[in-house]
Structure 1
Amino acid sequence: MKRWITPFIDDLKTMKTYLAAVTILFIAALWVGATNEHLHELLTPQLEQIKQLAEEVSQADNAEHVLFGVIVINNAVKAVMVVYLGILLGIYPILFTLLNGMMIGYVYELTEAGTGDALSLFLKGIVPHGVIEIPAILLASAYGIRFGVAGITALFNKGKGKALADLFRVSIPLGALLVILLLIAAVIEAYVTPFIMEL
């Protein structure tokens, strides 16, 4: 176990630049999603799909358990995809970060956040699980972009192939960490958030 965890922790310390980059990208996407009306037309179908899925889940027996399963599977699969598909020039994690940021910004705008109960409703619905889920997604995106950089570097400089191989090894404990974080976030979203929303 130690031979996996120690290299990952050491590697994580080198990720400051990538983490800063995806954080800035995410914050910019939040602002764009909240203010750009032209993008709202593109984001509305995505939001409608989420609403439809939520309605279907709410009608199932043991809806909370079903919701938990859907959230875990959806988020865990996407997080792993973000990491490994990043090797394709880092495009997928960049788009994933932008889409998630813009979607949250759009939801914020829809609730007319910033005034009274609307802001409270948004914070209750997003913050409890978001404080874990969003950093996990940003971590996945940061490593995905790094995979893209490492892939491009290895392609044009064969001497850098070892760095890419080392990154693949680090991605194993990374994947485990992401699943654990998203599992905790899913527990909060499925079982705690509905209770908080009623307060």
Structure 2
Amino acid sequence: MFAWFSKEWREIKYYRRESLICLVIFVAAVYAGYIMAIITADRTAEYYNTVRDMILANPFGNGLPENLFLYILIRNSVVSFTVLVLGIITYNLWPVFVLLLNGFIGGLAVKMQAVLFNYYTFQIWLFGLLPHGVPELGALFLAAGASFHYRRLHRKGERVAGRVLSTYLAVVLPLLILAAAVETFITPLLINRYLL
């Protein structure tokens, strides 16, 4: 089991460059969202509620679910899995779309929170997003980068289904479990301590 995990983590070197490109795409989208929040500063409160509802949308009912850890894990797992699989099928369009959308909404929401609640933007990133965002976004970037890599191999005629599943289970999912645990149990403590 350990050998399998170790092998999959070593395989990252084959799609490291693509994962870094995904990071750049995401950062550009964050910046675009940040700029959009500045441009629309006069309607920040109105737009913030809409963006907040989009982020917190719960298909299983109103408000946050009882088991927040499981909800976060399932939501992020589905997104990362679809990025990994649909990237191969959609000629990498789906991962790029997800990265752009998540980055844009993230940049928009952070700047809006800073304006509405009189915080510095770096405070929201540092205490509200980075603790769980590093493993969560790392999983997303690796899933998207692996999708680009496996798309290339698939185009050459190689079978990639088993490799895709192994990458997801050994690399992406453990990072998402860590991210969901941090977001559920640590991020709220940091927010209460430093942002409220």
Q: Which runs of 5+ in 2 are unaligned?
A: none
Matching of residue 109 in structure 1 with residue 122 in structure 2: no
May I ask how many residue pairs the two structures share in their alignment? 182
Render the CA deviation track for 1:104-153: whole Å, top value 9, x for unaligned.
1111210237x9734324421111101111111111111122333344xx
Gaps of 5+ in 1: 155-159
Which string of whole-angstrom CA distances, capped at 9 and with x for unpartnered residues, describes residues 32-61 of structure 1? 11113689999974542334549612xx6x
Larger fraction in helix: 1
SS of 1:149 mapped into structure 2: helix
Paired residue for 1:161? 157
Tell me if structure 2 keeps the 8 A contact 1:25–1:97: yes
Aligned to 1:12: 12
The answer to whether the 8 Å contact 1:8/1:174 transfers is yes
Q: Is the 8 A contact 2:8 2:166 kept in 1?
A: yes
Superposition TM-score, scaled by structure 2 size: 0.78
Matched AA of 1:123: L
Moved over 6 A (4+): 38-44
Equivalent residue for 2:168?
Answer: 175
2:24 matched to which residue of 1?
Answer: 24
C-alpha distance 92-118 of structure 1, shift in aligned 2 (>3 A): same
Alignment match, 2:146: 143
Task: Kindly report the root-mean-square deviation, in angstroms, between the aligned alpha carbons of the 2 structures.
Answer: 3.0
Q: Secondary structure at the match of 2:91?
A: coil
Q: Does 1:78 align with 2:79?
A: yes
Go from structure 1 to structure 2 and tell me whether the alpha carbon gap of 1:74 and 1:5 turns closer, same or farther (over 3 Å shift): same
CA distance in 2, matches of 1:90, 1:96: 10
If the length of structure 1 is used for normalisation, what is the TM-score? Answer: 0.77
